[in-house]
Amino acid sequence: MTRLIRNLLILLCAAQAVFAAGFLLQISALTRLWPLPYTTPLSFIFIASIAFAAVASTLWCILTAELAGVAGIALDYILIFVPITIFMAQLAGRGGSSGLTMFAVLCAATAVLGLGLLAWSVRIPPRDVRPTPRLVRSAFAIFVIALIVAGGQMVLKNTGIMPWSISTEATVIYGWMFLGAAAYFAYGIVRPGWYNAGGQLAGFLAYDVVLIVPFVQRLPLVEPELRLNLIIYLVVLIASGALAAYYLFVHAETRLWGRGKSAVSA
């Protein structure tokens, strides 16, 4: 069963990477599959960053054989795709395009996949029992609060949160993505351990790398009323990216090569 699930996760990563790359590079054969009209290039880049984050977190679990970490990813899938399925079904029921219905079906299938992965992985004991570094735990708590505040406003259709103009429908969808991410980081606090934190940081780093250049390029172009949003977002990207890069690649006790075996405290 473990080999079967591992192969399924590899296929899932490959599919997500293809779609993420297509959205990032604005390949029309893939971007036209997105069901919402009037989606801007920056919105496609944002969606790509979310997908690449999922790929990075899942790959970390596969490459480190830390399949207990899949539980948090599965929880993320459930809390993103269940409400988005309902929302898309509502839009389709109001006379939307057939693309909305197909997207709702795809989201429902992903939510079911998340339920299956959670039921399977939550019972797996972690291989790496090192604790999550204190600084990382503190950062996760801040991320959870920020994501809940921003995502909660967005699912309530506040379109003034993101640092670019988006539709009400996109705002709701992105809001659920933030709330799903909040649940993922909260899971890492409730079940602290490097087996969870490593994948979470890998996902955050991928998300940061995709977004930071487009956001910096947007600084001279941003609408005055959205400038503060963009600056705050950039600060979060830089801080979280530096945190992830340090603990994944520099910190002697947690870096991906030459990892130490002693307890992690800082």
Name which of 90, 110, 187, 112 is nearest 147 in CA terms: 187
Does the residue 62 lie in any domain?
yes
Largest separation between any pair of C-alpha atoms in the chain: 59
Is residue 34 in some structural domain? yes
As a whole number, mean pLDDT of residues 212-225 equals 96
pLDDT of 263 > 50? The answer is: no
Percent of the chain with pLDDT over 70: 96
CA 232 to chain centroid: 19
- How far is the CA of 26 from the CAs of 5, 10, 19, 208, 261, in angstroms? 31, 24, 10, 19, 44
Is residue 261 a part of any domain in this protein? Answer: no
Using CA atoms, how far residue 218 sits from 129, 171, 212, in Å, is: 42, 19, 10
**DSSP string over 14-66:** HHHHHHHHHHHTT-HHHHTTS-SSS--HHHHHHHHHHHHHHHHHHHHHHHTT-
What is the structure's pLDDT at 96?
66
Residue 245, in any domain of the structure: yes
pLDDT at 11 > cutoff 50: yes
Considering the domain boundaries, does residue 152 fall inside one? Answer: yes
* DSSP class of 124: S
Dist CA 57 CA 198 (whole Å): 8
* Cα 250-251-252 angle, rounded to 5 deg: 105
C-alpha 10/C-alpha 13 separation (Å) is 5
* Sign of the torsion formed by the C-alpha atoms of 5, 10, 15 and 20: positive
Quickly count: other Cβ atoms within 10 Å of residue 117's Cβ.
23
Residues 6+ apart with CB under 8 A from 243: 135, 136, 139, 201, 204
CB 144: neighbour CB atoms within 10 A?
19
Residue 127 counted as domain residue: yes
Give the CA radius of gyration of the chain: 18
Q: How confident is the model at residue 75 (pLDDT cuts 50, 70, 90)?
A: very high
Reply yes or no on whether the pLDDT at 1 is more than 90. no
The residue count for the chain? 266
Cβ of 66: how many Cβ atoms within 10 Å?
Answer: 20
- Look up the domain containing 70 and give its range: 2-250
In this prediction, what percent of the chain has a pLDDT beyond 90?
Answer: 88
Establish if 255 belongs to a structural domain: no
Instruction: Give how many domains the chain has, as a whole number.
Output: 1
User: What burial class does residue 120 get, using C-beta atoms within 10 Å of its C-beta: 0-12 exposed, 13-18 middle, 19+ buried?
Assistant: middle
pTM value is: 0.93
- Helix then strand count (H, E) for the chain reads 9, 0
Is residue 211 in some structural domain?
yes
For range 182-204, the mean pLDDT: 96
Whether the CB-CB separation of 128 and 193 falls below 8 Å is answered with: yes
CB atoms within 10 A of CB 89: 18
**pLDDT on residue 264:** 47
